[in-house]
Chains A and B, each alone.
Chain A
Amino acid sequence: QKEVEQNSGPLSVPEGAIASLNCTYSDRGSQSFFWYRQYSGKSPELIMFIYSNGDKEDGRFTAQLNKASQYVSLLIRDSQPSDSATYLCAVNQGSNYQLIWGAGTKLIIKP
C-alpha cells in the first residue's frame, strides 16, 4: 500500500491561473516534505521543501503543510507553459532520512 498519494492527473490549467497540486501521506511521524519537478525524460529537480505547518513561499511557488490532516500542497501562481511537467511529492519520515515518493501529478498549462 502506497504511503504517499498523489492524483496522477493530468491536471490542465490555463496560462496565468493558479495550479494547485495535492499530496497526502500516511505516516503521522513524517518530518519534512519535498516537491520536485520532473520534465519528461529528465531527472527530478527540487522546487522546495517544508517542515512546519503553514505556508512557505518561494517566488511563484507556495508549499502548504497541514500535519493534522496529513496533506501537503503546492500552489503555482501565474502558471506558465514552461511549468508543464510532472510534480513529485516526497516525504521524509525521519527514521533514516530516506524519502518516500508519490507517483507524481502531471500538470499541463494551456496557452
Chain B
Amino acid sequence: DADVTQTPRNRITKTGKRIMLECSQTKGHDRMYWYRQDPGLGLRLIYYSFDVKDINKGEISDGYSVSRQAQAKFSLSLESAIPNQTALYFCATSALTGTSTDTQYFGPGTRLTVL
C-alpha cells in the first residue's frame, strides 16, 4: 500500500468551481506539504503544515486554502478555480527530526485541469 495517497488522481473542472484535493499518509510524519508543478518551473510550495495546529503559507498561496484535519490528512482547496491553476499537484510529507536532512516523500500527484 502507498504511504502517501492523493485523491482524485485526475480532475477536470470549470472556471469558478470549488474543488478539494485530499492527501492522506500512513508514514506517521508530522509535516505535510502541498506543491504544484508546471512545465519548466519545477515544484512550487503552496502551503505547509508542521502539525495539526500549525499551517503556513508557501511561495504561491493566493487562490488556495488548506485544512489539516488530522496528523495524517491535509487537504487543499481551490475556492474558485481559474485556468492558470491547471497543473500537477503533489502532496509530500516529512518526519520531524529537527535536522536539515529531513527527506520529503511524495504522493502520486493529482492532475488538475481547469477549463
Contacts and interface: CB of A to CB of B under 8 A. Distances in A.
Interface of A: 8, 31-32, 34, 41-46, 49, 51, 88, 90, 92, 94, 97-99, 101-104
Contact of A101 (B31, B43, B48): B43
B100 A31 contact: yes
A102 B37 CA distance: 11
Nearest to B2: A43
Interface in B43-66: 43-45, 48, 58
Interface string B65-104: 0000000000000000000000000100010000011111
Interface residues of B, number: 21
A32 to B, nearest CB: 4
Contact of A8 (B31, B40, B102): B40
Contacts, number: 49
Contacts of A92: 100-102
A43 B106 contact: yes
A59 B103 CA distance: 19
Nearest to B42: A103
A101 B90 CA distance: 14
Given A42-B108, A43-B90, A45-B106, A101 B100 contact: no
29 contacts: A8-B40, A31-B100, A32-B100, A34-B103, A41-B109, A42-B109, A44-B43, A44-B90, A45-B106, A46-B103, A46-B104, A46-B105, A49-B101, A51-B101, A88-B42, A88-B43, A90-B43, A90-B104, A92-B101, A92-B102, A94-B100, A97-B31, A98-B48, A98-B58, A99-B104, A101-B43, A101-B44, A103-B42, A104-B42
